[in-house]
Amino acid sequence: MSARTKFLVRFAVLLLVFELPLLLDPVDRYVVRPLSAGIAAVSGAIVGVPANGTVIASACFAVNIQNGCNGLETALFLVAAVLAFPATPRQRLLAGAAGIALIQIVNLIRVITLYLVGCHKPEWFASFHLAIWQTIVFATAVLFFAAWSRRVTARA
């Protein structure tokens, strides 16, 4: 089996192991929703809007941060790729932590800008939510992994 095939198999297995639990109610209740509520709280605090659970709302607009909008799936995708890649445990740990942090920062910016777009240009919201920001968040994960894996390979 080639190194690429081994990577792809490990990546697929890890992705399933990480993503399937997200379908379980206890994981949603005790992991996903609290993460989404935390993102709502931080986003709301930054824009000066109260958060109530997973929602930040004001008179001009409301954003509900649901599963799929909290950066978790993208972070798990990135971690699966990092763990599947042939690197030292330390390199994987550092890349996984840095990647998760980067994805969450980008997603926080996403939530804030989506709220602001909804307030000031609501006709743009659907495009920003479904096309622009989803592409940016996922592209961030792919570009991070590409840069990290090249760096690790160059050192080896």
| Position 156 in a domain | no
Percent helix, strand, coil in the chain (nearest 5)?
Answer: 80, 5, 15
pLDDT of residue 149: 96
| Position 154 in a domain | no
Q: Which residues contact 74 (CB under 8 A, 6 or more apart)?
A: 103, 107, 137, 138, 140, 141
| Position 155 in a domain | no
pLDDT of residue 156: 63
Instruction: Select from 28, 27, 51 the least CA-distant residue to 39.
Output: 51
Q: Which residues contact 115 (CB under 8 A, 6 or more apart)?
A: 43, 47, 49, 56, 61, 63
Instruction: Select from 99, 97, 57, 59 the least CA-distant residue to 78.
Output: 99
Q: In what order do the strands lie in the sheet with 55-57?
A: 51-52, 55-57, 62-64
Residue 107 domain boundaries:
3-148
Query: SS3 for 48?
Result: coil
Contact present, 67 and 85 (Cβ < 8 Å):
no
| Position 82 in a domain | yes
| Position 126 in a domain | yes
Q: Which stretches in the chain have pLDDT values below 50? A: none
| Position 101 in a domain | yes
Considering its fold, how many domains does the chain have in total?
Answer: 1
| Position 127 in a domain | yes
| Position 76 in a domain | yes
pLDDT of residue 94: 97
Contact present, 131 and 122 (Cβ < 8 Å):
no
pLDDT of residue 37: 97
Q: What is the CA radius of gyration of the chain?
A: 17
